[in-house]
Amino acid sequence: MYSYALLEKGCYYLIQEKEKSPIVMIRIMLESDHCMFISKYVETEVTEWKRKTDPIFEIIELLDDQAVKEWESSYYNNEDAYYEDED
């Protein structure tokens, strides 16, 4: 069992919070003495605070810069597909 205290600010991770939960990508946005402010990327971006002691079932991967760039290109292009032009 892992915790959020192991994660570094500014980095993107693939994690599984609970044993049977889906894999999600997160980014650590801010670190305080006891908490982490994270962005979680699911269907939309969700931000939330987590205690550093909150459990993580598995830290699957720390994403490198190239993987993040490829993901951003795909994620933000797909996000535009949900909005129609109003002419």
Q: Tens-of-pLDDT digits for all 87 residues of the chain?
A: 899 999 999 999 999 999 999 999 999 999 999 999 999 998 889 999 999 999 999 999 999 999 999 888 887 766 555 555 555
Instruction: Tell me the residue ranges of DSSP E strands in the chain.
Output: 2-3, 12-16, 24-31, 35-41, 45-51, 55-56, 58-62
Distance CA 38, CA 84 (A): 30
Task: Supply the pLDDT for residue 42.
Answer: 85
Task: Supply the pLDDT for residue 85.
Answer: 54
Task: Supply the pLDDT for residue 26.
Answer: 97
Task: Supply the pLDDT for residue 46.
Answer: 94
Residue 9's Cβ-side half-sphere holds a number of Cα atoms within 13 Å equal to: 8
